[in-house]
């Protein structure tokens, strides 16, 4: 077992080293090919059927080595590897994220005695990916909706892209009077948390749904939305182009 764990560590170290390689900034084909091979080996190990205890050890090692953060960096830098990286993350986190973890984060809108609080579940286990956290841009957008700095019209249908744990979409239902909100994200685990957050904070307001969406394929995106929301979703120029395609479709 110890040899297998060390092999797993070597794979995550190899991925880290390839990302740090100066040629990776130029999307060097050789680097991309080596990353693809390393992630394919990692995915095979995560999916192997050699016993529950062994699978748990492998998954914990990936998380401990910050494997999910590395794979998210691969997604951002190498769009062609995003699907493979997503499969690795899903395999590594399937037993660690699905229920969420940690004390709910409280986000406050307004001041007493009229303050409104959202209690948002996140996932703060070691190695949790970027989508399982609440980022400042999401809080800023939610507060803009609360203050009516953003107007959606009368009872709009809202879709949130890169929803993560769903803060902006929940604000759209609570403060923007959205008739429906569809959370979309590449990570199914974060969408499960978003739906629980919606039920916790808006038990009788709006209609909520969720769907996994890869921005390169708009087929899963609702086509009847009036408003598309997104907070902190553009990390590089390629992401802006993908979002424009979503809007056109």
| pLDDT per residue of the chain (249 residues) written in tens, 0 to 9 | 445 556 666 777 777 777 666 454 555 677 788 888 888 887 787 676 444 544 554 555 555 445 666 677 777 777 777 777 777 766 665 544 434 455 688 999 998 898 999 999 886 543 444 556 788 889 999 999 999 998 888 999 999 999 989 999 999 999 999 999 999 998 887 898 899 999 999 988 779 999 998 888 777 788 889 999 999 888 777 888 888 888 887
Model pLDDT, residue 242:
86
In the chain, CATH 3.40.50.150 covers 105-248
Tell me which CATH code domain 105-248 carries: 3.40.50.150
Separation in Å, CA 24 to CA 12, 30, 47, 64, 68: 16, 9, 27, 24, 18
Please, what is the angle between helix 2-20 and helix 29-47, to 10°? 150
Question: Does pTM top 0.75 for this prediction?
Answer: no
């Amino acid at each position: 077992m110890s040899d297998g764990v060390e092999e797993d560590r070597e794979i995550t170290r190899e991925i880290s080293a390839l990302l740090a390689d100066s040629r990776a900034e130029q999307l060097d084909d050789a680097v991309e090919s080596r990353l693809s091979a390393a992630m394919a080996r990692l995915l095979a190990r995560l999916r192997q059927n050699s016993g529950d205890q062994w699978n748990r050890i492998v998954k914990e090692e990936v998380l401990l080595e910050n494997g999910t953060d590395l794979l998210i960096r691969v997604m951002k830098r190498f769009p062609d590897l995003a699907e493979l990286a997503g499969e690795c993350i899903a395999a590594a986190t399937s037993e660690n994220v699905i229920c969420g973890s940690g004390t709910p984060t409280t986000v406050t809108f307004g001041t007493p005695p009229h303050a409104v609080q959202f209690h948002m579940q996140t996932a703060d286990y070691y190695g949790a990916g970027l989508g399982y956290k609440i980022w400042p841009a999401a809080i800023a957008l939610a507060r803009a909706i609360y203050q009516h700095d953003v107007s959606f019209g009368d009872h709009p249908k809202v879709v949130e892209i890169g929803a993560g744990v769903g803060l902006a979409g929940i604000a759209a239902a609570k403060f923007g009077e959205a008739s429906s909100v569809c959370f979309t994200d590449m990570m199914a685990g974060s969408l499960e948390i978003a739906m629980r957050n919606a039920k916790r904070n808006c038990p009788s307001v709006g209609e909520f749904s969720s769907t996994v969406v890869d921005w390169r394929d708009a087929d899963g995106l609702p086509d009847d939305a009036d408003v598309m929301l997104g907070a902190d979703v553009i990390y590089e120029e390629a992401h802006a182009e993908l979002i424009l395609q979503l809007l056109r479709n």
